[in-house]
Structure 1
Amino acid sequence: MPRDCSRTEIRCQREGILLQFPGYKECTPLTYPSVVGATMIIDAHAHYTSAPPQLQAFRGRQISAYARPNKGILQISDEQLKASVKGQVDRMDEWGIDRLMFSPQASAMGHQFGTPLISRHWTEHCNDLIGRIAKLWPDRFSAVCQLPQSPGVPPEEWVDELDRCVNELGFVACNINPDISGSADPFTPSLKDEWWNPLWEKMVELNIPGTIHASSTMNPAFHVTSSHYIGQHHNAGVEILSSRVFQDFPDLKIIIPHGGGAIPYQWSRHRGTHVMMGLEPFEEAARRVYWDMAIYDQASMEMLIQRVGVDNVLFATEMFGAVNAIDPETGRSFEDVPSMFSGIDWLSDEDRLKITEGNARKVYSRLPVKV
């Protein structure tokens, strides 16, 4: 794909998605996905980073009332919600994305702060907003919840909120913070620890997947989204893939975001560790989970697909997320995953269909048959 085009215009058509680059006459149109009859692109990773200011104002009041926690009332109208996600809907139309797996803003989950009751109140409000958005835009958004995690509080005390979100609000998945205290004391047990079993049991019972996703950190030495997030997602993948979790819960569905941090790049380090520890081959363990491709670099996407296989990769952009900026080399958004994915010329039509839709349908089993 030419690198000196000023911007991308993607026109979504039901027979495919035509990529054009206005202002550059020599650009070659590309068809994506090149799958006859492929009618849907499901984006597995998006957060509510555009919430109305009333949400953060409410959070400020909640924090100021730390000693007297109460749930309070969050007043945001349907019209305000619609306006707040217009950018996402417009970008979905521009990039040809049909459906978003939409969850609360990850860095604002705030598990490391406050008491269990504060975390629960905040979580319920955030999940309620996501549920309302999914009902306002039922053909575009699928709801993914955060959990009322709090330092030192075991998973059996979170699962009622997961139950509420799935059975009462129609959510299709959850996000799981592997570092609840934000790298402070008390430290969160490894994902291989049986401490997590009540959550795995509930996820299997509800037949929903969980995406491993960190929130903020108490360590001022780490940049939250570029250092802390990526490190935690890498760590979580290494821990759960070296465990017996999938022997004990063979139907458990876990998603590792952002390509698994550095896992594809450090592939043989982990292969060697598994050999030394007498574990199953790492390349086999890696196919027990799913990996989203919100990586923002075509070469890295290709490495991920080659390492873990097309059957285990989910299309994802994390639009309006950590790298919501323009790439000076291309003039396009760093988050323009569709263009990068289109440039991978060795994928077959069947491969593309799996990554854009088929794998998501396997993972998100609560999606309606026709969405």
Structure 2
Amino acid sequence: MPRDCSRTEIRCQREGILLQFPGYKECTPLTYPSVVGATMIIDAHAHYTSAPPQLQAFRGRQISAYARPNKGILQISDEQLNASVKGQVDRMDEWGIDRLMFSPQASAMGHQFGTPIISRHWTEHCNDLIGRIAKLWPDRFSAVCQLPQSPGVPPEEWVDELDRCVNELGFVACNINPDISGSADPFTPSLKDEWWNPLWEKMVELNIPGTIHASSTMNPAFHVTSSHYIGQHHNAGVEILSSRVFQDFPDLKIIIPHGGGAIPYQWSRHRGTHVMMGLEPFEEAARRVYWDMAIYDQASMEMLIQRVGVDNVLFATEMFGAVNAIDPETGRSFEDVPSMFSGIDWLSDEDRLKITEGNARKVYSRLPVKV
């Protein structure tokens, strides 16, 4: 079998350059979705993991002033913001990605820490930065907000920030932490609980989607991104798909990230549970939400698409996220989703267009017509 190409080899092959160096072998060029049926790639999952150090310095000062909370001033210039997202823009150009759904760093949302006013101040600052980046790069970044969630505080006390972000700052979506306290007391109600209804109502009113996304955990036994995140996203999917939420809010748009944790792998466990509980068939319930494909291996992507269907999958990389490392087997980034996606040879051009653009346009209704 020919080996995979390095990024340099691919670029040279595209440009017709003859590349020779010690150890060079004939290789199979990778094809990106942009040349196999997709006219545009919208990446549904990206976090601001490259924020300037002033942001964490501010957070440190906020934590140290716990007893005397004050919103304070966060001083970061436009030039510093531009420099902080250069890596994302360069990677978008390299991988052929046209637009990012860009939100604050998930693990740093920090809902489990502090009082409601501390969470609100921090959330407003983080959202303001995302809004500024989206205005600096209107053709590349779309803003997704975090919410001022805090343990024991109900959704009706967060939705004003969602209103501000959408109506004043032009945000197109929100992230929703299903485990506000970080798996500690007071525990967060299940997503099937009516406790969440004020948020669902506001999302439907604003016509925006929400991505279920955990933040940090108070349980030291769990790795945050590989254990806690994946478990919480799986749990959230199981809970909301076994509820009457979509009967009560038929226009609600929910995204489950990272392929739904282990849901596609445990598919028939959930099918069987729905049968025993007299619920809607699980395979039908699963098509009431959208699933992003930031999964990082082709076989898992294929399983997800086969389980939930091409109409319910969103292209996503979570670039510079949890697995920002080089795969020793391929020499490429684990996050190089475009290469893996292009290797799924049974998808039609129409299927690819749905996954890379069409489904996102259905979900993110506030995207400009021409993005």
Distance 2:138 2:272 in 1: 46
Of 133-142 and 9-18, more deviation after overlay is shown by 9-18
Question: What CA distance in whole angstroms lies between the structure 1 residues aligned with 2:120 and 2:238?
Answer: 29
Do the aligned residues in 1 keep the contact of 2:38 with 2:349 (CA within 8 Å)?
A: no
Q: For 1:56-110, what per-residue CA distance to the aligned partner results, in whole angstroms no more than 9, with x for missing partners?
A: 0000000000000010000000000000000000000000000000000000000
Contact 1:8 1:21 in 2 (8 A): no
Matched with 1:77 is: 77
- For residues 160 and 34 of structure 1, do their structure 2 counterparts lie closer, same or farther at Cα, with a shift above 3 Å needed? closer
> Cα 1:159–1:10, aligned 2, differ >3 Å: closer, same or farther?
farther
Where does 1:175-214 land on structure 2 (aligned, <5 Å)? 175-214=175-214
**3-state DSSP class of the match of 2:168?**
helix
1:14 shift after superposition: 13
Q: CA deviation at 1:38?
A: 3.9
CA contact (8 A) 1:151 1:181 kept: yes
Question: What is the rounded CA distance, in whole Å, between the counterparts of 1:228 and 1:68 in structure 2?
Answer: 31
Change (3 A) 1:310 1:68: same
- Structure 1's 336 and 37: CA in aligned 2 closer, same or farther, altered over 3 A? closer
SS in 1 for 2:3: coil
Q: CA deviation at 1:146?
A: 0.1
Residue 40 of structure 1 deviates from its aligned partner by 1.1
Task: Answer whether contact 1:42 1:100 (CA < 8 A) is retained.
Answer: yes
Task: Give a deviation string over 1:175-202, Cα, whole Å, max 9, x none.
Answer: 0000000000000000000000000000
Whole-angstrom CA distance in 2 between matches of 1:276 and 1:16: 59
Is the CA contact 2:110–2:119 (under 8 Å) kept in the aligned structure 1?
Answer: yes
Contact 2:10–2:29, Cα closer than 8 Å, also in 1:
no
Q: Hey, what's the Cα distance between the residues in 2 that align with 1:18 and 1:176?
A: 49
SS at 1:192's partner residue?
coil
The size of the alignment, in residue pairs, is 371
Structure-2 separation of matches of 1:58 and 1:37: 45
Q: Report the CA distance between 1:41 and its aligned residue.
A: 0.3
Deviation (angstroms), 1:24: 4.9
Q: CA deviation at 1:39?
A: 2.8
For 1:126 and 1:174, locate their aligned partners in 2 and report how far apart those are by CA, in whole Å.
13
Aligned match of 1:339: 339
**Deviates most, 3-12 or 76-85:** 3-12
User: Is residue 174 from structure 1 mapped to residue 163 from structure 2 by the alignment?
Assistant: no
Return the offset for 1:37: 7.4
> Given that residues 5 and 23 in structure 1 are in contact (C-alpha distance below 8 angstroms), is that contact kept between their aligned partners in structure 2?
no
Maintained 8 Å contact 1:18/1:32: no
Shift in Å, 1:10: 6.2
1:127-147 CA distances to partner (integer Å, 9 max, x unpaired)? 000000000000000000000
For the structure 1 residues 268 and 3, does the alpha-carbon distance in structure 2 shift closer, same or farther, using more than 3 Å as the test?
A: farther
CA 1:364–1:211 in structure 2 vs 1: closer, same or farther (change >3 Å)?
same
Distance in 2, matches of 1:153 and 1:98, equals 37
8 Å CA contact retained: 1:131, 1:170: yes
CA contact (8 A) 1:12 1:93 kept: no
Distance 2:346 2:21 in 1: 23
Residue aligned with 1:34, SS: helix
Report the Cα distance in structure 2 between the residues aligned to 1:80 and 1:25, rounded to whole angstroms: 42
CA distance in 2, matches of 1:351, 1:20: 37
Q: Which runs of 5+ in 2 are unaligned?
A: none
CA contact (8 A) 1:10 1:19 kept: no
Contact residue 7 and residue 22 of structure 1 kept, 8 A: no
CA contact (8 A) 2:36 2:342 kept: no
1:6 maps to 6
1 CA distance for matches of 2:161 and 2:267? 36
> Aligned partners of 2:28, 2:281: CA distance in 1, in Å?
42
1: CA distance between counterparts of 2:21 and 2:284? 41
1:144-174 superposed Cα distances (whole Å, 9 cap, x missing partner) = 0000000000000000000000000000000
Q: TM-score, normalised by structure 1?
A: 0.95
Question: Distance between the aligned counterparts of 2:37 and 2:351, measured in 1?
Answer: 14
* Aligned partners of 1:15 and 1:38 also within 8 Å: no
Cα deviation code 1:249-276 (max 9, x no counterpart): 0000000000000000000000000000
Given the superposition, is the C-alpha separation of residues 71 and 20 from structure 1 closer, same or farther in structure 2, using an over 3 Å criterion? farther
Q: Distance in 1 between matches of 2:2 and 2:355?
A: 24
Q: Judging changes above 3 Å, is the alpha-carbon distance between structure 1 residues 40 and 286 closer, same or farther for their aligned structure 2 residues?
A: same
Instruction: Return the alpha-carbon distance in structure 2 between the equivalents of residues 20 and 138 of structure 1.
Output: 40
Shift >6 Å, 4+ stretches: 12-23, 34-37
Question: RMSD over aligned Cα, in angstroms?
Answer: 2.7
1:45–1:15 CA distance, 2 compared to 1 (3 A):
farther
- SS for the counterpart of 1:107 is coil
> Relative to structure 1, is the Cα distance of residues 112 and 329 closer, same or farther in structure 2, using a 3 angstrom cutoff?
same
- Long gaps (5+) in structure 1: none
Match of 1:243 in 2: 243
CA spacing shift, 1:22–1:202, aligned 2, 3 Å? farther
Partner of 2:53: 53
SS at match of 1:270: helix
